[in-house]
Structure 1
Amino acid sequence: MGKDFYDVLGITRTATDDEIKRAYKQKALKCHPDKNWEPDAEKKFMDISEAYEILSDINKRSIYDRYGNEGLKDYTLWNTFDSRTTYKNLFPNGDTGTPHPNGDDYYDGNYCIKYKDPTTFYDLYVTLEEVNNGAMRKMKITRKRYNQELKTVVKDEKVLEIQVKPGWKEGTKITFEGEGDEGDARTLAGDIVFIIRDKVHPTFERSNSDLIYRAKVTIKQALLGTVIQIPFLNAQKKSYPLKMQEIITPQTEKHFLNEGLPYPKDSTKRGLLIVKFDIIFPKLLSDEQKTLLDYCFPNSIDFYQTSVTDITTIDEQQRQQQQQQQQQQQQQQQQQQQQQRQQEQKKQQQQEQQQQQQEQQQEQQQQQQQQQEQQNNNHHRFNHYNAQHTPPTQRSQKSQNKHHYQTNGTASPSTCPTINVNETIEQQQKSPPNRSDQVKPSTNHSSISPSHSVMPPSPTISSKLMTVTNGIKQSSIINEVSF
């Protein structure tokens, strides 16, 4: 790729002349060889001067914008043009801030550049026959030339010969270097470029290396068949009679191999000759013609109606499918919601069951505590009753036995005396009743009179008496005592 002069100066393509000049001054002061001693400073300075020379000129800038570096190519170093000329014009005093204010020491050709004049472009129209067979074309041009003797620019005419080769495509470029304009002694002559263009052909159309022939037929010929004469681009060949027995439609095509244009790279091979058909329709029809057409094509309207009906049916089917899809989606959503509800209900039930279990456990614990407390109270009551109704001799003997078993390390019998129910009943029957000796009933066992401690009153016991003997602790549980 060539140089981008806009990028060299650091400006946009829409920059004004003042912006171009300002950018050049800044770049030139920075990259001038008198001020910048870097190895690539000279090259940068030459590129900056070259960019300014092109972009500051309206015509050159226009050519550069249209054709790029191709229009302004082949820049070369020369000894007749100093790249500092532009710099000196913008800085008349030559003040670069260096010991060489005028820059005269550099007019030795080391920094000189001579550029080409812009390239001149011409369109060269050729026929399909010339592309098919090849041809020699002579083009007379008028150009500007610098006359060394007269020291001025004069007009000059020259005839250029162009050998059109078989198969050349549209857009092919033929370049004549140095045959263009030469503005002055400081410039090199530009180039001339011819661009191949296709002339409109009365019979054929071109598509790369293929030829297209459009045959015109009437409706009658399209429906009933016909014979069409197909011409060839090669005049030596006669036209070919093409029989068309099938119905011709606008999409019908017929191909002929190796009857097109030669390939550019291999002229021995050729493209296709493609026959397309243009059907000519009448502008008006009489009533008789309409009647005949209706007679010949009786099902045309029915076909149209059927087509419309089919389309309507298809639309209804699509709507039904859409409705079914929507219903399925709704059902899926409902199922998902129902599943979520069931899961939530299960969670709630589990939580409630856990709470119930916890409450049951708490109730059981409370019942166990109450039973334990009741057992403790009963045991305490029995001990208290036993202490009140046991004779002193038995108490001392019981304490001695208890001490004996504790010292020997064996289990002592129960400290509670064994009560014989039969003996108690017999004594009660033999002794007469003495109301003065009886103790009034009381629920409080601690209120018994001390005068009756030796011989306790005969109680009526309605309970289960459980006696543990054989040297093991005896215990009695009394649920109800009445006096």
Structure 2
Amino acid sequence: MKTISPMLKLPFLVKPTSSLQASGFLRFPHLFDAVYPLKKLENGRQGHWMAAVPCGSMQAVMWGVQPQLVFGSSAVARASMSIHCLSKRSPSLSSTIFSQKPLGELFGSASYVKPRQSRGARLVVRAEKDFYSVLGVSKNANKSEIKSAYRKLARNYHPDVNKEPGAEDKFKEISNAYEVLSDDEKRSIYDKYGEAGLKGAGMGMGDFNNPFDIFESLFEGMGGMGGMGGRGSRSRATEGEDQVYNLILNFKDAVFGIEKEIEITRLESCSTCNGSGAKPGTTPTKCSTCGGQGQVVASTRTPLGVFQQVMTCSTCGGEGDVSTPCNTCGGEGRVRKSKRISLKVPAGVDSGSRLRVRNEGNAGRKGGPPGDLFVTIDVLPDPVLRRDDTNILYTCKVSYIDAILGTTTQVPTVDGMVDLKIPSGTQPGTTLVMAKKGVPLLNKRNMRGDQLVKVQVEIPKRLSSDERKLIEQLAGLKKEKTPSVR
């Protein structure tokens, strides 16, 4: 096959082997959707050549179709599969076996780079994933080494153990790699044609939807790795959601604590179906779409490669099984109900304090434990008292006469009105301490803060004539006692 048109500038051509030349390659033009007539073949017949690699499917290999690269008029060595091929299996030769992107789109895509190989040089087209690198083994690794590498990685990235973002995707990736490299036939095809060869042969990729099955088969008999699951892990019991309730308290109730009855609305287990979500008398069956996992892997081919995305199964809604829904709860397994509960608020709470009431949240799914109820406290302000942590602040107004002579006055506290002695000569702004009249320490009622009273001396703006005379006399006495300064 040396008579190749030098004017053809297509990167990919496919030629028939000598065994097919005699039988007539023209009998299979329907295998390709983009063919170009070239010069006559060696046997004198006009042939058809396809200007793209046919995905390296096993059918094409068995028929003797070998992908080749051509630069100008030079044929070079066999290449790996193009990532742009989309293969379809067919039971007969009269059906379309290969479906390909238009050549203009193929060679105009951002992922296509014009080859720079010299005449006769080998062109290497990389597979979409390097499964050996994924498992961290060499291409000469034996089955034991591959199995050991997979076990180590599977333990580290299993989603029941590793909650980091991306751990589940990594687990699926290493499971995909092990699925291929642990199978002699799949590994042989992968080594020759890459991941596209597996798809073209109709094998391998279809098994990737259930990587947990691989994990279970390896760790079977080991107690499930301490509860780590695969099949059915999506539909097992899960804890109910937490609930939040906002409680408003007055100032004194927050200081001394109180027991209040509150009404909450939450999801409770359906009594009709006992929380299963299934109609009584029916039995749930495993979802045939996701195989009981509750998730499916959607693969999208782009010019940059194949992108896989884990999605919730639309058939079972992520439950992993399908059942006739309960008439009461509609298949949810839970119904919304109101409930009154008695809540003990401890002394010393403040705005923003959060109380936790265990098992009073939403009921769990599939028999799982209920969530908790979190009560957030909001304290109303007092008209005259203010709070500073465990201390209570109050401002006491006294006349200038009482500040000078001293007095006893009543001040409000959380315990009621209490007498407070104002010492003679008290200066404006003085703070007096009323010990243990503050807020109890949270969960320590025998320990309390103080009430701090700030004295505010009131100076009259207007004086009567008698008051003025007395003050002037006092001022005169003050001057007589003050020695003159020379």
User: What's the TM-score, normalizing by structure 1?
Assistant: 0.37
Which one scores higher on RCO, CA 8 angstroms, separation ≥ 6? 2
The structure whose Rg is larger is: 1
User: What's the TM-score, normalizing by structure 2?
Assistant: 0.37
Q: Tell me which protein shows more strand as a share of its residues.
A: 2
Q: Tell me which protein shows more helix as a share of its residues.
A: 1
